[in-house]
Structure 1
Amino acid sequence: MANTGNDGHVIYRSGNPTQLWCYTPAILKTSSGRLVVTLDLGGPGLDNQQKSINKRTKRRGVGKIFISDDLGQSWVERGSFPFWHARPFECRGCLYIIGNAGDLYIIRSRDDGMTWTAPAPLTRNELWHGSATNILQENGAIYMCMDLRTDLAITGWNVAGLTPVILRGDDSGNLLERPAWTFSAGFAFKDKFDYRAASFGENFGIPFYPSEHAGPRSLTPTICASPPGWLEGNLVRITDPKHIWHDPNNATLYIILRANTNGSGYASVLKAIEQEDGGITLHDVKAPSGKVLSYIPFPGGSLKFYILYDAITQLYWMASSIIMDSMCKLSETPTGRYNLPSNQRNILGLYYSSNCVDWMQAHIISKGETEYHARNYPAFVFSGQDILLVARSGDGFAKDGQYANLVTFHTIRNFRSLVI
């Protein structure tokens, strides 16, 4: 067990760090005060006996469940599940974990995480993606955003072919069954934006490096640029009546998405409107000028981030990667950094905002010693005066900053005192 402090507590450590990698940490604090953390493992070091629950996906992975009854000082493994990209939540006295292995699957616990049901499918013959971004629970519903793979023709890292989908669960229904869930209608990045057009991203340098439309473009023998796209959306509801995005009918959610621009400093944004017939539709966000707002300035927006609204401070709190070195030459990319210069993953920061556009850095959560010492892919909960956070992390044994070998737990004490 690691000491507390900048490095946090180690929840899980890979026994084969260059072949078995840690993904998708997520955290829940249950009504009993218990902490539940989920993560998944993948890579060539995965046990060959671990078969995918779904034959349509070539990926193999296994999810793990850990619990703590002492606010993260010690952890006990309580189970596993045959899918990944999972996130836990609580509803009406039961715990749930939802994720994907091609299709979407969900499991339930009636005893505070001690035992779990077999996976129940929520979709059929689909391919999903979506790391553990936030969950909103309000007005009798559970909201989250995941990514549906709607264009499979693009090779490599295919975020241009992802369609953001809002899932809305009826908390009075059987959440193990599809009828309890509504799925938004939407569009893939490539269907909305002609990123092959000369005018796309003009004056903003997007994409930052040249890219192809059908797959990765090699820039050096070890670095490539994928087509522009979006993924891993967080949901926010604007509560301030003074905000230009505020909806007095409370029928609009905003999706702030990780943006692949092959550079840093931007996130993508969409809005979702709940219709009177119960459907959910996705739309462009427009500036007062009428111009479509495809991107917003966003610290760490090129990597996975996590947003929660705190009613006490009336602020949105966000954890993301701090990128300080995206402008280095490709030939000068530090050893251990995965792919592009903007993929710096070893510094994790905490920010706050009153409007989800203008962010103030509040705290450096953790800084790894080298590029191998990743601190990224955060998820967190509020716990009284503190933030309890999990991260995909690495140490000197990690393959690189992307393929991490640890999941770590971090406490940010008295976080509201960081507001200036």
Structure 2
Amino acid sequence: MTTDILRFATAGSVDDGKSTLIGRLLYDSKSIFEDQLDAVERTSRTRGEEQTNLALLTDGLRAEREQGITIDVAYRYFATPRRTFIIADTPGHIQYTRNMVTGASTSDLAVILVDARKGLQEQSRRHAFLATLLQVPHLVLAVNKMDLVDYSQERFEEIKREFSAFATKLDVPDLTFIPLSALLGDNVVDRSMNMPWYDGPSLLHHLENVHIASDRNLIDVRFPVQYVVRPNKADDPELHDYRGYAGQVAGGVLKPGDEVVHLPSGLTTHISRISTADGDVAEAFPPMSVTLQLADDLDISRGDMISRPNNRPVVTQDLEAMVCWMSESRTLTPRSRLVVKHTTRTAKVVVRDLRYRLDVNTLHRDEEADALALNEIGRVCLRVTQPLFVDEYKRNRFTGGFVLIDEHTNTTVGAGMVVGAE
């Protein structure tokens, strides 16, 4: 019986073995159908490969297989008796930085693969930085293809020292190093007999046991209102005065009787009832979707926020944020006009200033930059047409993250993380 869900992203340089690693996890956990395995075995034989190419389990399109690259974020699922896993397999190419941001934004853990022969590459450092920028709390550096360096402890320790030195520049709460061979299965599911010098866990054992409950312990009560529920009175006269506020809990624990404050009005009231699709509950916590009933009749609408009276988010129209730009057709510049989608609130926004563009390879800040192009990241100042209820991203991903939308095409053009508010 599964106990909880672990979301993790895999990243790294091109051809470091991400797809093979995921294929090995899917294969060894018996999470693929026989016909899928048969198709992969046939393709492997057609190519003249001696072993079944497990990477083909994740490179879904034939065109991608022919190119030999993975070009998008592929979400995969598998389970063990301890946990259910959701994997975001992100591409390694520099032009797909936005895909890495998408995959890591909801992850509990990131696995950065490194080819033992090549050592750290620019993409390795870039993806490690992006994972820490996105506040992924657990990082695993998986030194892959150890079979091609004769399972050398010296080579593993060399890469470990190099990455540890780089990690001192980053905010990495939890860092683990694992030597493995995704192709042969060494230290992926079971401990390898080929590396007796390694006394740590296999990758799957680490994934099953890494502690994530405290990472999600967002103590600040945050409840963005998504929908106001007003049943049809004609269907049930008893619901004549029913008014509920539906949404997903973004932080803290809510219970009937709790005092809460409504934003932006600042009026306080008490929770009288908490309901779900399965009936009433005694408490609600992230990421539950519930409907609240309040003791008082307040003027509440979509986009409003419910929190504790003495622990409120910042109410502001001026934000400072790190933004990853995702548009190929336009750039982000000062005075750009966009739409911001933050929790359940949508508003127009203008870019007041571009503070700097960040080189994710060297961490250099280019304060002379005047625009952000596709996949570039920078710190910007935004002015919103109506108040948002925000926390810093490092404190709460839900209320600290947002997306930017082109108001003419309605396409997502950027993802942002709040670092400050005025």
Q: Pick the TM interval, shorter chain.
A: under 0.3
The structure with more strand, counted as a fraction of residues: 1
Whose Rg is larger? 2
Q: Which has the higher contact order (CA 8 A, sep 6+)?
A: 1
